[in-house]
Structure 1
Amino acid sequence: MFYYSLWDGYWGRYRIDAETAIQTALQRVPGQVVKVELDDENGFLIYEIDIRTPSGIYEVHVNAATGQVLRIEMEDEWF
């Protein structure tokens, strides 16, 4: 449990929060946010934000350390 607290505090200081990531993603893909996940991708923390638009669902990847949009993908399947 100690290690979790230590790492949680570390990442809390060195990453943007989910709300900032969502606002960044919505600037690129306006719509309704339907899912937000914080994931490890090749050693980097990435927010994966799914946004529903009239043309479909898009997944926006935002670097959790810098706030930079890394890529935007249209989802093929969504239930």
Structure 2
Amino acid sequence: MICPFCNLWDGYWRQYRINTETAIQNALQRVPGQVLRVEMDVEDGLLVYEIHIRTTNGMVYEVTIDANTGEILEVDRQDD
């Protein structure tokens, strides 16, 4: 079966303006530490990077970055 949304999503994903490395560098400027994982997601119709970082004191933060502008939208501490 052919995915009816594949062409739509392919075009949408290509529209982001910053690359993963830029998003990671922006996140590490706000929350220094070790990057655990990077995901792309759509939140409220906006393409974002979600970057999970472990700090030197062991806390884990999720930094949400606008994939179009590189702006940090949110920083959340993750509870275990």
TM-score by length of 1: 0.82
Aligned to 1:36: 38
Cα distance, 1:9 vs. partner? 5.0
Q: For residues 46 and 13 of structure 1, what CA distance do their matches in structure 2 show?
A: 12
Residue 51 of structure 1 corresponds to which residue in structure 2?
A: 53
Deviation per CA, 1:1-54, whole angstroms, max 9, x where unpaired? Answer: 7x7467535543442111110000001111000010000001000100000112
Aligned-partner SS, 2:52? strand
Structure with the higher helix share, 1 or 2: 1
1:27 equivalent in alignment to 2:34: no
Q: Which runs of 4+ in 1 moved over 6 A?
A: none
Could you say if the C-alpha distance between residues 10 and 73 of structure 1 is closer, same or farther in structure 2, counting changes exceeding 3 Å? closer
Match of 2:73 among 53, 70, 73: 70
Work out the percentage of aligned pairs sharing the same amino acid.
57
**CA–CA separation in structure 2 for the residues paired with 1:13 and 1:64:** 9
- Unaligned residue ranges in structure 1 (runs of 5+): none
C-alpha RMSD of the superposition = 1.8
TM normalised by structure 2 equals 0.81
